Structure 1
Amino acid sequence: MSEPIPNRESPIPNSQSPITVLALAVATVGGIGYAPVAPGTFGSIAGLAVWWLLPAWAVVHAIAIAILFVVGSWAGNVAETHFQKIDPGQVIIDEVMGMLITLFLNPVGWAGALLAFFLFRLFDVIKPYPSNRFEALPGGIGVMADDGMAAVYANLALRACLWTSAHFFRPL
Structure 2
Amino acid sequence: MTDHPNQVPAEFVPPSVWRNPWHFIAFGFGSGTLPKAPGTWGSLVAIPFIPLWQMLPDWGYWLLLGVSMLFGFWLCGKVATDLRVHDHEGIVWDEIVGMWITLWLVPEGWQWLLAGFLMFRFFDILKPWPIRWVDRHVHGGVGIMLDDILAGVFAWLGMQVLVWAVA
Query: Does the 8 A contact of 1:50 with 1:96 survive in 2?
Result: no
Out of 69-78 and 143-152, give the one that drifted further. Answer: 69-78
**Alignment partners' CA distance in 2, 1:81 and 1:59:** 33
Aligned residue number for residue 43 of structure 1:
42
Query: What is the distance in 1 between the residues matched to 2:108 and 2:117?
Result: 12
Q: What pairs with 1:60-75 in structure 2 (closer than 5 Å)?
A: 60-75=60-75
Deviations 1:57-95 (A, max 9, x none): 212211221121112111211222233332221111111
Letter of the aligned partner of 2:57 in structure 1?
W
Alignment partner of 1:34 is 2:33: yes
Superposed displacement of residue 101, structure 1: 0.6
Distance (whole Å) between structure 2 residues aligned to residue 154 and residue 82 of structure 1: 31
Structure 2, unmatched stretches of 5+, are: 8-14
Structure 1 counterpart SS, 2:97:
helix
TM-score for the superposition, normalised by structure 1? 0.81
User: Which structure is larger by alpha-carbon Rg, 1 or 2?
Assistant: 1
1:1-172 → structure 2 map (5 Å cutoff): 1-4=3-6, 21-54=20-53, 55-135=55-135, 136-166=137-167
Residue type of the alignment partner of 1:51 = I
Q: Per-residue deviation at 1:27?
A: 0.8
Matched residues, percent identical? 31
Aligned-residue offset at 1:43? 0.9
Task: Give, in whole Å, the separation in 1 of the partners of 2:133 and 2:108.
Answer: 30
Deviation at 1:24, TM superposition (A): 0.8
Name the CA distance, whole Å, in 2 between partners of 1:88 and 1:98. Answer: 17
Structure-2 residue corresponding to 1:169: none
SS in 2 for 1:89: coil
Matches of 1:107 and 1:31 in 2, distance apart? 29
**Which secondary structure does the structure 1 equivalent of 2:106 belong to?**
coil
Q: Which runs of 4+ in 1 moved over 6 A?
A: none
Q: Distance in 2 between matches of 1:32 and 1:25?
A: 9
List runs of 5+ in structure 1 lacking aligned partners.
6-14, 167-172
The two structures, once aligned, show a CA RMSD in angstroms of 2.0
Contact persistence 2:50–2:100 (CA under 8 A): yes
Following TM superposition, by how much is the alpha carbon of 1:39 offset from its aligned partner in structure 2, in angstroms?
1.1
Aligned length: 154
| Deviation of the 1:155 alpha carbon | 0.7
Q: 1:114 offset after TM fit, Å?
A: 0.7
TM-score by length of 2: 0.83
